[in-house]
Amino acid sequence: MHDGGQPIDLAMLVEEHYALVYRYACRLSGSACEAEDLTQQAFLTAQRKLDQLREPERAKGWLCAIVRNAYLKELRDGNGHAAVSLDRVAEPADTENAPIDREELQAALNELPEEFRTPLILFYFEEFTYREIAERMETPVGTVMSRLARAKSHLRERLAMREPATAELPPGRTESA
């Protein structure tokens, strides 16, 4: 039950957010099949924990956090992606860009370590601010900024199909990938 005293309706929660949750799960896992499982798991968990959601306006972030937790469990069970190192990142990509191929986009996402992929997806979905991403990932905002900058750079570089012109990160903003 949330602060307004009215119970949050699970059916409405599903109705309003299932497509977003599925899309997010799909981009996170890179698999439609896994995305369906994650979506179903997320709403089953939401059903059990519904009383912990007190503010309906936070439902989206709450559900995405559940999806991410479920996905991290999957990763630990050995279903993880091979991730590239982002210790060195590209300079801003060439401005002349080819149209984006959806499969290539997903392949580029799959290459990223999860802690870079998650904020990137949330950012491009335009559903979350940096602070919300930081809150959901339990990570300082500065770390989210840094990871996003590197992940965006990787993505642009990868989609621009050009050889990375690598450069060291500025001092104080490095972190292990």
Under the rule (CB under 8 A), what is the footprint of other proteins?
1, 9-12, 14-15, 18-19, 22-23, 26-27, 32, 36, 39-40, 43-44, 47-54, 62, 65, 69, 72-73, 76, 92-93, 95, 97, 99-100, 102, 105, 121, 123-126, 129-131, 138, 141, 144-145, 148-149, 152, 155-156, 159, 170, 173
Torsion of CA 127, 132, 133, 138, to 10 degrees: -150
Lookup: tokens for 92: 């801003």
For other proteins, the closer CB: 52 or 85: 52
CA 127 to each of CA 34, 118, 121: distance values in angstroms, whole numbers, following the listed order: 22, 13, 9
Lookup: tokens for 116: 């870079």
130: number of Cβ within 10 Å: 15
Please state, in angstroms and rounded to a whole number, the distance separating the CA atoms of residues 88 and 77. 29
Please state, in angstroms and rounded to a whole number, the distance separating the CA atoms of residues 143 and 128. 16
Residue 88 CB, nearest approach to other proteins (Å): 15
Residue 113 CB, nearest approach to other proteins (Å): 14
Residue 82 CB, nearest approach to other proteins (Å): 20
For other proteins, the closer CB: 163 or 168: 168
For other proteins, the closer CB: 82 or 95: 95
Residue 171 CB, nearest approach to other proteins (Å): 12
